[in-house]
Amino acid sequence: MTEGLVLEVDGKMGVQLGGSMGVGVSRLEVIEGPSGRRRRTKAERARIAAESMMPGVTVTAVARKHGTTRWQIYESYAQKLVTLDQAAA
């Protein structure tokens, strides 16, 4: 069966993502909009990155909370470091 949205025999919509039959997706999030991407301001990205640096907080938990990936948070760290280096020069 090909990947994509499948109309099951009982009329219910299902998702088949390849692999073995009978294995479904536990959660599927659809983001509406022209590209399906969230746009955040620099201030929002900085706030999320700062939140992930709090004691006892994991980057993964913060990423899930805000609907992003930990790699995007790490990218925010890198951008902040470049900004600080440029300001110090």
pLDDT per residue, tens digit, the chain (89 aa), is 445 554 445 555 555 555 555 556 677 777 666 665 778 888 888 899 889 889 999 999 999 999 889 998 888 888 777 777 778 87
Give the HSE-up count for residue 22: Cα atoms under 13 Å, Cβ half-sphere. 0
8-38: burial string, b at 16+ Cβ within 10 Å, e else: eeeeeeeebeeeeeeeeeeeeeeeeeeeeee
CA R_g for the chain: 19
* 80, 46 contact by CB (below 8 A): yes
63, 69 Cβ separation under 8 angstroms: yes
Instruction: Please give the pLDDT value at position 89.
Output: 73
What pTM, to 2 d.p., does this model score?
0.51
